[in-house]
């Protein structure tokens, strides 16, 4: 079932993770191109890839270069060493093999290029309550337990995925914190062990280890 909410998001919290030095930027799974639009500068070239045809009709108006299709089918048309940033905003968890996607991004990155990713946090407090208290695991139309999510990650397994794929993680931060009393209590009284459960997603910036000086 098509979830329109996915395709029309500006994601302002992710803009700060895209380096100011990035001139040519690719967003994979760009939806209607709303985030791409926020990255525009006179000196930048914004590329987008989107599978959904309806969303793609909007995205092609907001991207300098746009491809309709999935990442792997578009891959042969992407320039080697062509991008200073490749963005995956809540997209990698929809891949059958996100590890392969990250590996195939490496030749596309320039010497200063980075992958910027937002990935849902499976240890989010709402999930823990449902699993540990309600004794349930129910897929939803949207959110962390989205029925279209094929992979689930914790902060630690996100880091491991990037490292296993040959990246050096430059930045890794929780985003969109939950401010309920339960998440606060877990963070404080667990001495940090449950500090990560406050965050719905983690943002990661990673560079090809072969480019790190």
Q: Looking at the domain assignment, is residue 132 inside a domain? A: no
Pairing of strands 109-120, 83-89: parallel
Q: Confirm if 175 and 13 have CB atoms less than 8 A apart.
A: yes
Q: Looking at the domain assignment, is residue 85 inside a domain? A: yes
Q: Looking at the domain assignment, is residue 68 inside a domain? A: yes
Q: Hey, how many other C-beta atoms are within 10 angstroms of the C-beta on 205?
A: 20
Q: Looking at the domain assignment, is residue 181 inside a domain? A: no
Q: What residues make up the domain containing 54?
A: 4-120+149-176+201-211
Domain count, the chain: 1
Q: Looking at the domain assignment, is residue 130 inside a domain? A: no
Would you call 98 exposed, middle or buried from its count of C-beta atoms within 10 A (0-12, 13-18, 19+)? buried
- CATH number of the domain that 67 lies in? 3.40.50.150
User: Coil, strand, or helix at residue 119?
Assistant: strand
**Rounded to whole angstroms, how far apart are CA atoms 35 and 14?**
9
Per-residue pLDDT, 144:
87
User: For 31, phi and psi rounded to 5 degrees?
Assistant: 60, -130
Structure tokens at 99: 């590890």
> What's the DSSP call for residue 20?
T
Q: What is the pTM of this model?
A: 0.91
Q: Looking at the domain assignment, is residue 192 inside a domain? A: no
**Rounded to whole angstroms, how far apart are CA atoms 120 and 206?**
17
Query: How would you write the pLDDT of the chain (213 residues) with one tens digit per residue?
Result: 445 566 778 899 999 999 999 999 999 999 999 999 999 999 999 999 999 999 999 999 999 999 999 999 999 999 999 999 999 999 999 999 999 999 999 999 999 999 999 999 999 988 888 888 888 888 888 888 889 999 999 999 999 999 999 999 999 999 988 766 565 666 655 555 677 888 999 999 999 998 876
Q: Looking at the domain assignment, is residue 185 inside a domain? A: no
Q: Looking at the domain assignment, is residue 125 inside a domain? A: no
């Amino acid at each position: 079932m098509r979830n329109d909410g996915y395709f029309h998001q500006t994601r302002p919290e992710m803009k700060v993770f895209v380096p100011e030095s990035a001139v040519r930027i690719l967003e994979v799974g760009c939806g209607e191109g709303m985030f791409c639009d926020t990255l525009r500068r006179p000196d930048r070239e914004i590329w987008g890839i989107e599978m959904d045809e309806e969303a793609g009709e909007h995205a092609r108006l907001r991207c300098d270069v746009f491809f309709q299709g999935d990442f792997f089918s578009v891959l042969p048309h992407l320039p080697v060493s062509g991008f200073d940033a490749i963005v995956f905003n809540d997209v990698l968890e929809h891949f059958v093999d996100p590890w392969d996607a990250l590996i195939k991004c490496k030749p596309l990155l320039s010497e200063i290029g980075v992958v910027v990713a937002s990935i849902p946090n499976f240890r989010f407090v709402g999930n823990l309550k449902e699993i540990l208290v309600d004794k349930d695991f129910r897929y939803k139309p949207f959110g962390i337990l989205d029925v279209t999510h094929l992979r689930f990650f914790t902060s630690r397994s996100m880091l491991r995925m990037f490292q296993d794929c040959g990246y050096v993680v430059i930045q890794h931060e929780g985003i969109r914190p939950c401010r309920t009393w339960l998440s606060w209590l877990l963070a404080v009284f667990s001495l940090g062990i449950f500090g990560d459960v406050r965050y719905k997603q983690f943002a990661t910036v990673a560079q090809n280890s072969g480019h790190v000086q």
